[in-house]
Amino acid sequence: MKLLEEKISNVGQVIGTDILKVDMFLNHQLDVALLDEMGKEFHRLFSHKSINKILTVESSGIAIAVMAAKYFNVPVVFAKKANHKNVGTELYTVKSYSFTHGKEYTMAVSKKYLSSEDNVLIIDDFLAGGNASFALLDIINQSGAKLEGIGIAIEKGFQDGGKKLRDMGIDLKSLAIVESMDEVKGITFRNDC
């Protein structure tokens, strides 16, 4: 998605060869007009699927998921990473590991909001090694819901999460795939979408 690639190139901040900071428009401050265009693009990419629910994970996935959901006209369910005591005791849970925060956490979704009746699109802000996506897949499997696809804002193409998911036959679409990045040479995108 040209608009997102340009935004990443113009204001994203590369630290070393691995860290891409986009907190100025995606992770802390939110460029809502851009998020709206991203939501529209996710709908264009997956509109041929019969999706009745969008699943994401707090916090950074919520804004994009909601914007997409508006075009699909379906509800969003966001998995809780912490403080999920107040969503009840009937939960699907899975342990995952966050490299960003260097710690293990438990992801949870209430059984009330995901079941074998659901056709689910996962939406998230980042895909690198794929830990968050695999945790969400685990929850979908526990629920018996059908996975229709995964939509990612920014994929780090030089890490293996995307390859693993595509090799499983999953319909994964990323709006921007960073092929390589470097503080001096800048960012190169893969021409995939």
**Which residue ranges make up the site for a second copy (CB under 8 A)?**
21, 23-25, 27-33, 35-36, 58-59, 62-63, 66-67, 69-70, 73-78, 80, 82-83, 85-88, 98, 100-101, 109-110, 112-113
Q: What are the tokens at 181?
A: 């990045």
Cβ closest to a second copy, residue 67 vs residue 181: 67
Which of the 8 DSSP states describes residue 68? Answer: H
Q: Are 78 and 58 in contact (CB under 8 A)?
A: yes
What pairs with residue 173 in β-bridges? 151
CB of 58 to a second copy, least distance (A): 4
If the CB atoms of residues 85 and 166 are measured against a second copy, the closer one turns out to be 85
The C-alpha atoms of residue 112 and residue 116 are separated, in whole angstroms, by 11
Closest distance between a second copy and the C-beta of residue 68, in Å? 9
70 or 164: whose CB is closer to a second copy?
Answer: 70
**In the complex, least distance from residue 158 CB atom to a second copy, rounded to whole angstroms:** 19
> Which amino acid appears at position 7 of this protein?
K
Cβ-based nearer residue to a second copy, 78 or 189: 78
Residue 68: beta bridge partners?
A: none
| H/E stretch holding 72 | helix 60-72
**Minimal distance, residue 28 CB to a second copy, in Å:** 5
Max alpha carbon distance in the chain (Å)?
50
End-to-end CA distance of the chain: 6
Query: In the bound complex, what is the minimum distance in angstroms from residue 144's beta carbon to a second copy?
Result: 17
Return the number of the residue (23 or 192) whose C-beta is nearest a second copy: 23
